[in-house]
Structure 1
Amino acid sequence: MFEMRWLAFGVRLESRGFRAASKGGSPGSSYNFHEKMSDPSVSEDPPLHDAYRFDHFEVRVLSETLLCDNERVKIQALPFRLLLVLLENAGNVVTIEELGRRLGGPMYQVELGSLRVAATKLREALGDNAMAPRFVKTISGQGYKFIANVTPVDDRSTELSLEFVPNPALPAIESFSVRRISSKTVMVLLVAGAVSMIAVMAGFLIYRESHIALAGEHDLIVLGGFTNSSGDHDMDGTLSSAFRVKLQESPYLNLVSDRKFRTLVKDPEVATLNDELNACRTLRGQILLRGQLASRNPGNEVALTAWACSSGRKLTTQKSVASTKADILPALNVATEQMRRRLGEPDNSLQRFNVPLNQATTSSLVALRAFTQGEDKRAQGLESDSISDYKLAADLDPQFALAYARLGAIYFNAGEYVLSRQYFQKAFDLRARTTDRERLYITANYYGFATGEVSRATEAYELWRKVYPQDMAPVNNLAIEYLLIGQPEKAVELARTAGQLDTTIDLANATWTQAYLEVGDYASLNALCKSSLGEESNTTVFHVLCFQGAFAQNDEAGMQHQLQWARGKSQETLLLQEAANVAVSRGKAAEAWRLFDQAKESALQNNLVEFAAGTTLNKATSKADVGYPGEARHDIEDALKLAPNGPQTQGFAALALARAGETALAQAEAGKAAAQSPLDTILNSSILASVRAAIHLQKHEPEEAVRSLDVSRVYDFNEFMQLAPSYYRGLAYLQMKQPKEAAAEFQRVIDHRIIAPDSLYVELSTLELGHSLQLIGDTSHARLEYEQLEEVWRDADTDFPPLRQMHRYEQQLPR
């Protein structure tokens, strides 16, 4: 039976930072400028030469200085080290592995992302161009090569700053004399000294004020609007997403989520400063950051301003000039790096987490604008409406990894698993073109929702959560993983934490709601469903969960309220399927089949083809399990025509076919699914295990059926299977004439009904539990089970096969 999962956005990547460059040491110390380790066995090699000259440049090794026409050029430590290694091997390719070892030192290696950033910074310092290099050439798939002519210099006099060199033109000092100074001269000197001291102190204070960190690690930072006053309306609403990506890249900054901010400021692009400061104070933020693109002659200027939320005082403005339109994203890179430094982010963090925007997002401003529009809609909970924007962004820039990742997540949430896998695969293939944060977002979701590797996804989310404890997304998605495999008790605290980190994100609230539902905490569940956030939520799965909770509590009004919310919306598909599940569990088969058909048509109208196939298979499996195998075959054929290539569709089709008695076809579809997704944990360990068990049941091989389900036991309560594995295991024990063991399995289903309250297998297990107890000889408890079913099926169709079966069992009870 098809059930839905959903995921949130955003990921971080744990990394190893670089040690600070050591400025001390003797003139013969190594040019690997990492700090020496305490291990005495670690040695450092002396530099090969004192300096290198090429073109108009001179590199002085010991003083770590880069000169151009005798003027010092600003360059950071890691790019300088990269330059030295390349100069030492001028004309030869230095591999990525060798660079990682040489730049990182003996205890750890520099990672590829940092190496690319260092190469970019080095080219900036040298005025070089990666597309038409004069100095540093990228050798694809291998490393880097210094291609200009280099002259090594072995003359310690190039390092005058390191030692005193006497000037022979000056005479030797043999003696000195003293003369009396007048009191007037003394007064002039004192006044001059005082003035100098005041100037020095003022300069110190100004320096201190301009260099002191503006934010601590726990200060909340709110990102406001990014306005466009350049006069170029093509730039309207373009830079805000890039601005956020660059700041989210930082592991140091503690950012308030965009969704939280937008609950108070609907359109940051046109909001006033006072509106945003008020919102910042409401959100308990300490600093508000705003961006602006302004025109200047020539070109444009990117300006980022930080404001103190409490007082409204301007703290700093960081600017960068863009001479042409193509320079706007590089200018935003520079301005954000400057702002991150002013906020207090350490240099080693800036070096490690500082991927250029044209790599982290896109070099196309048009694609970036489309992506930003999608982000704005997603921030408002309008996921389906954002699809066209993300698709446009990917069409405009086929290398836009983050756009593909967003599409993968949205299609997964919509139940379009084939499309989701395709987009996640594209994102995963392009993951090198992202920030470290987004790279792990893509990687974790790829394992969790494309390949289905539960353990690898869980490891990735745990890592993300550990390194970035303020991020909601890894906590939320980790909770989803535990809900997926049927361990809601592990998910509850995670879901609560995710919701507390950001109460405004609908998907986090949906996870929280599901966790409460599956542990039976109906008081907390009802509080969420009836809260203002719940009433205003646009997330379909949230309303589905509230519907299920109302059903579990026999709250007909609550169920109708959720159905009314969905009526006429594109999201109605999911609620119609839930209503169909309820109808079949109550024995109203005709009504259930009609609702399943409506859900299918609604899905097709909204271009959710795979979900339509899943709904049809849900109907087919229900028919086969309640006793309409012939009708089920027709529905299976329809489903496979709609979505023949999806591994989950194939897996559930195989299950429906097996339950309908078509064992050969079931084996064929199961083989296709396994071949497509050999690593998918739930598909292979639960869905296909249940297919094998169902086939053995048809062949009256119950021992084999039980063995087939051994691998599934740890995943018996996964959300896709809706408690079916324990039910099938119970049927196998009945075939083996072991009613006691069968009763235990049916009781497991009933005991876990809170995980899937509207699952058909709850009522079918209650029926077969009564039968098992009857076979054991416990007729009094068997009667109790049948009485419960009489109440559930009081309005059932008179020809509902399970109802007729119950009447046959009752006739066998002693009078």
Structure 2
Amino acid sequence: MVYLFEKFELDDSGFCLFHEGRRVPLEPRALRVLLLFVQNPGKLLQKDFILESVWKATFVEESTLTRAITILRKQLGDDSRAPTYIETVPTLGYRFIAKVETLSAAEPGETHPDAKPSVNQTLEPLPHPLTLEADQDRFPPFAKVNEVLTPNPLSRKHEGRSVKWRNWYLLAVLLPVAGGAELWIHFHHQPILEEKKAVVLSDFENSTGDAVFDGTLREGLTVQLEQSPVLSLISEPRIRNTLRMMSRNPETRLTPVLAREICQRTDSAAMLDGSIASLGSQYVITLHATNCNTGEVLYTEQVQAARKEDVLHALSTVASNLRSRLGESISSIRSLDTPLDEATTSSLDALKAFSESARVENESGSAAAIQLAQRAVELDPKFAAAWAILGRLYGDIGQEKSSAESTAKAYEFRDHASDHERFFIVASYEMQVTGNLEKAEQTCETWAQVYPNDAGSYGFRAGLILRVFGQYDKAIENAEHLVGIHPDFAMAYHFVALNDIALGRYKDAQRIGERASARNFKIPYYALDQFRLASLTGDEAAMQRVVTMAAKMPGSEDMIAGQQASSFASHGQLEKARAVSAGAITFMVQSGRREAAARAESGSALREAFLGNRDQAKRLALAALSLSKGRDAQYGAAFAFALSGDSIKAEALASDLEKRFPEDTSVRFHYVPTLRALVALDRHDATKAIELLQANIPYELGSPQSSFSGFYGVLYPVYVRGMAYLMMHRGNDASTEFRKVLDHPGIVANDPIGALAHLELGRAYVQSGNSVGAQAAYKDFLALWNAADQDLPLLKQSRLEFARIEDRNH
């Protein structure tokens, strides 16, 4: 019998307590007291009755029962003064006051209603003096899904499905004959892993001669085990990094011997190895779980599949049984256990192409893996996980349109994926296709609750969602947690550094970068972090070192070129900015990355517009739109048009963005309000501009998505609001807005508005009569532009204004 109360589950057959799918450690006597309570809910149980029932003939004092009750309350999170579970009846005893539901045991031999008779036939037991009867564990039918997942549309209650649980025949050979039955019963009712749930999965041994199984079964078992919210598979990046530390090729085939050594080095609990062999016309799948340190075989199972087409179904059964033996609760398994042919594909060939794409990506990069991922979706057009990976691969090489299309396909077929995969698919769709980051945040929050060891939810929040919201502190918390649970995930360190920089914690950002370097991580984004740190601290020599380094690191050249061009423009060195960006854009176009080139061209247009070169800004904005009308490129071009006085084009582009991306958070709260405010300013309606910009206030310190892909757009609404107040001659209000820009240099980074805010602040102080503040602000601006191009009209104008201020002050 299984007893359910609140978020707890007490299984009397397994003699264990679970909370939201996680085993709760309890000493046996306390657990027996709890069992007595849930068997008699609402009833007063006198102390003598409890002592006699639990301790039987053993003489114990009442204090022993008191201690057991204290332990129970602590583990249940109960308060004796305001109890939720155990109520004390003074001098008499205790009453269990929580509502208890019971689930009857499933009958032995109950099968999946769709199971084929030929699938998963367990092999005959090996000869041994201790003969095991059919598995006597009673597993309840489908229990309620973990409550945190149930209200989410991502979850699917597999109503009516029950899993055929198999005998653990080979356990007998691992136990001594003397006392074997008692030992077997104890072992059978205890999970083979207790607290530490990390496991290493080796490659499957394929002796069938059929190459379709190479890599496929390991991929399939990975998908199945990743559905568990309790287990934690050692990630591929961590395996490869461990192999490097062992002076081994990171692409070395993971044999059981090698997997066990990795298991030991990563301080994991167990190593899993499997094999597939032919038995006449049938197939035999064997799986072993081994203690990494002792080499003790913890669990072995073999199943048969009558046909090749049944192998994936057989593997699903093995994985479900394994999860149970590793200590996961029954309700957790049944609520998060999509069969492999539903979670991935029923096509072995498609699954093989999918697994091969991962191998090729690791060896040769994203571009090389695309063809195999495309092959997988050609073989099975409803293979959701393959569409999702294809979307990510396209995104890696800068083909955003193809990436969004593939991600949308994954979302369309999301019902053909496990709950685990569906979280990734839905969150990716919400971030990339609709852009609705409020929904994406809700998805990631639920994802983290159901799968607390998954990197995805924390990475999506730290790297994008929370940054758009301007919640950099929360982003750091997520990123640091990600580093803690996945220390070999290189991007996690970048997320910490990126958000540390945003909050001005430059030393912390430097330290996390050093930690990443110590692990020999090399990704392009580290160059971005280093350049920004050098720029913000005024270390020009360090900036040049990063530029030199980026030239030798594929993938970082574009980012550093954009940063370098913006840095030049921020110091009024527009000729240098043009040269850097022109070369980078030409390279992007030649390499087929038109969307990336369009964003870079929009960045160039913005620099020209901010520095007063209106005609050049419009020309570059048109060039950007001719390359791509992607969301972020179009925003940059529209802003350049608006800033250059072409309000008609700016309004048309804003309306188009609003129509194409009605849910998009950046469009709704950053892009459209700011563009329409600029249009209002062009029409000398500053009051309207202020009204329009109210929509941005909740996210005003946020980094819109254009700042990730094009390195522009941060705090633009704040800057434009300051311009509106200047037009209204409200100098004090204007100075407040420009101070926001100047007070957050880590967010603004190298964007030209960081320098221009000094000039605009000076103008705001002039309006408010603060001549001393105005003089200081102009000095700060001119100091930044001390090496500016001398023919810039803005430089000439600012010098004239400063001269007038000095004359008045003297």
TM-score (norm 1): 0.75
Does residue 770 of structure 1 match 2:762? yes
Q: Partner residue of 2:664?
A: 680
Q: Contact (CA 8 Å) 1:519, 1:755: kept in 2 or not? A: yes
Once the two structures are overlaid, the 10-residue window that deviates more, 226-235 or 490-499, is 226-235
- Indicate how the Cα distance of structure 1 residues 110 and 812 shifts in structure 2: closer, same or farther if over 3 A, else same: closer
- 1:715 is displaced (CA, Å) by 1.8
Q: Partner residue of 1:489?
A: 473
Does residue 618 of structure 1 match 2:610? no
- Indicate how the Cα distance of structure 1 residues 700 and 414 shifts in structure 2: closer, same or farther if over 3 A, else same: farther
- Alignment of structure 1 residues 11-22 onto 2, 5 Å: none
Q: Partner residue of 1:724?
A: 716
For residue 262 of structure 1, the aligned residue among 240, 256, 261 is 240
Q: Contact (CA 8 Å) 2:143, 2:334: kept in 1 or not? A: no
Q: Partner residue of 2:214?
A: 236
> Counterpart amino acid of 1:760?
P
- 1:437 is displaced (CA, Å) by 1.0
Q: Partner residue of 2:733?
A: 741
- 1:396 is displaced (CA, Å) by 2.5
Does residue 543 of structure 1 match 2:521? no
- 1:240 is displaced (CA, Å) by 2.3
Q: Partner residue of 2:461?
A: 478
- 1:805 is displaced (CA, Å) by 2.4
- 1:249 is displaced (CA, Å) by 0.4
Q: Partner residue of 1:192?
A: none
> Counterpart amino acid of 1:246?
Q
- Indicate how the Cα distance of structure 1 residues 37 and 675 shifts in structure 2: closer, same or farther if over 3 A, else same: farther
- Indicate how the Cα distance of structure 1 residues 534 and 634 shifts in structure 2: closer, same or farther if over 3 A, else same: farther
- 1:524 is displaced (CA, Å) by 2.0
- Alignment of structure 1 residues 155-304 onto 2, 5 Å: 201-210=179-188, 212-265=190-243, 266-267=249-250, 270-304=253-287
Q: Partner residue of 1:628?
A: 613
Structure 2 distance, partners of 1:441, 1:353, is: 15
Structure 1 distance, partners of 2:437, 2:279, is: 53
Q: Structure 2: which 5+ residue stretches go unaligned?
A: 1-5, 14-37, 44-102, 116-140, 167-175, 244-248, 705-712
Structure 2 distance, partners of 1:238, 1:533, is: 34
Q: Contact (CA 8 Å) 1:223, 1:258: kept in 2 or not? A: no
Q: Contact (CA 8 Å) 1:633, 1:660: kept in 2 or not? A: yes
Q: Partner residue of 2:585?
A: 600
> SS in structure 1 opposite 2:202?
strand
Does residue 586 of structure 1 match 2:564? no
Q: Contact (CA 8 Å) 2:142, 2:162: kept in 1 or not? A: no
- The count of corresponding residues between Structure 1 and Structure 2 is 668
> SS in structure 1 opposite 2:654?
helix
> SS in structure 1 opposite 2:428?
helix
> SS in structure 1 opposite 2:203?
strand
Q: Contact (CA 8 Å) 2:229, 2:453: kept in 1 or not? A: no
- 1:383 is displaced (CA, Å) by 4.1
Q: Once superposed, what is the RMSD of the aligned Cα atoms?
A: 3.5
- 1:495 is displaced (CA, Å) by 1.3
Q: Partner residue of 2:498?
A: 514
- 1:620 is displaced (CA, Å) by 0.9
> Counterpart amino acid of 2:694?
D
For residue 549 of structure 2, the aligned residue among 565, 590, 599 is 565
Q: Contact (CA 8 Å) 2:241, 2:488: kept in 1 or not? A: yes
Q: Partner residue of 1:647?
A: 631
Q: Partner residue of 1:796?
A: 788
Partner deviation per Cα, 1:620-656 (whole Å, 9 max, x = no partner)? 1221121111111111212112113x33333333222
Q: Partner residue of 1:467?
A: 450
How much identity, in percent, do the aligned residues show? 27
- 1:579 is displaced (CA, Å) by 1.3
- Indicate how the Cα distance of structure 1 residues 117 and 378 shifts in structure 2: closer, same or farther if over 3 A, else same: farther
For residue 698 of structure 1, the aligned residue among 673, 677, 682 is 682
For residue 75 of structure 1, the aligned residue among 107, 111, 127 is 111
- Indicate how the Cα distance of structure 1 residues 102 and 511 shifts in structure 2: closer, same or farther if over 3 A, else same: closer
Q: Contact (CA 8 Å) 2:756, 2:781: kept in 1 or not? A: no
For residue 650 of structure 2, the aligned residue among 666, 676, 686 is 666
- Indicate how the Cα distance of structure 1 residues 199 and 397 shifts in structure 2: closer, same or farther if over 3 A, else same: closer
Structure 1 distance, partners of 2:397, 2:694, is: 31
Once the two structures are overlaid, the 10-residue window that deviates more, 365-374 or 488-497, is 365-374
Structure 1 distance, partners of 2:281, 2:325, is: 27
- 1:688 is displaced (CA, Å) by 0.9
- Indicate how the Cα distance of structure 1 residues 731 and 414 shifts in structure 2: closer, same or farther if over 3 A, else same: farther
Structure 2 distance, partners of 1:102, 1:309, is: 33
For residue 805 of structure 1, the aligned residue among 797, 800, 803 is 797
Structure 2 distance, partners of 1:39, 1:759, is: 66
- Indicate how the Cα distance of structure 1 residues 17 and 230 shifts in structure 2: closer, same or farther if over 3 A, else same: farther
Q: Contact (CA 8 Å) 1:258, 1:379: kept in 2 or not? A: no
Q: Partner residue of 2:332?
A: 349
Once the two structures are overlaid, the 10-residue window that deviates more, 370-379 or 438-447, is 370-379
Higher relative contact order (CA 8 A, sep 6+): 1
Does residue 756 of structure 1 match 2:748? yes
- Indicate how the Cα distance of structure 1 residues 230 and 739 shifts in structure 2: closer, same or farther if over 3 A, else same: same
- 1:551 is displaced (CA, Å) by 1.1
> Counterpart amino acid of 2:283?
N
Structure 2 distance, partners of 1:112, 1:492, is: 27
Once the two structures are overlaid, the 10-residue window that deviates more, 518-527 or 713-722, is 713-722
Once the two structures are overlaid, the 10-residue window that deviates more, 485-494 or 610-619, is 485-494
TM-score (norm 2): 0.76
Once the two structures are overlaid, the 10-residue window that deviates more, 785-794 or 765-774, is 785-794
> SS in structure 1 opposite 2:204?
strand
Q: Contact (CA 8 Å) 1:302, 1:319: kept in 2 or not? A: yes
Larger CA Rg, structure 1 vs 2: 1
Structure 1 distance, partners of 2:700, 2:273, is: 50
- Indicate how the Cα distance of structure 1 residues 699 and 110 shifts in structure 2: closer, same or farther if over 3 A, else same: closer
- 1:401 is displaced (CA, Å) by 0.7
Does residue 710 of structure 1 match 2:746? no
Structure 1 distance, partners of 2:720, 2:478, is: 32
- 1:120 is displaced (CA, Å) by 8.2
> SS in structure 1 opposite 2:310?
helix
Structure 2 distance, partners of 1:441, 1:596, is: 35
> SS in structure 1 opposite 2:290?
strand
Once the two structures are overlaid, the 10-residue window that deviates more, 716-725 or 512-521, is 716-725
- Indicate how the Cα distance of structure 1 residues 109 and 635 shifts in structure 2: closer, same or farther if over 3 A, else same: closer
Does residue 328 of structure 1 match 2:311? yes
Q: Contact (CA 8 Å) 1:394, 1:403: kept in 2 or not? A: yes
> SS in structure 2 opposite 1:595?
helix
- 1:207 is displaced (CA, Å) by 4.3
Q: Structure 1: which 5+ residue stretches go unaligned?
A: 1-14, 23-34, 41-61, 67-71, 80-100, 126-197
Q: Contact (CA 8 Å) 1:586, 1:795: kept in 2 or not? A: yes
> SS in structure 1 opposite 2:242?
coil
- Indicate how the Cα distance of structure 1 residues 232 and 522 shifts in structure 2: closer, same or farther if over 3 A, else same: same
> Counterpart amino acid of 2:674?
S
Q: Contact (CA 8 Å) 2:730, 2:768: kept in 1 or not? A: no
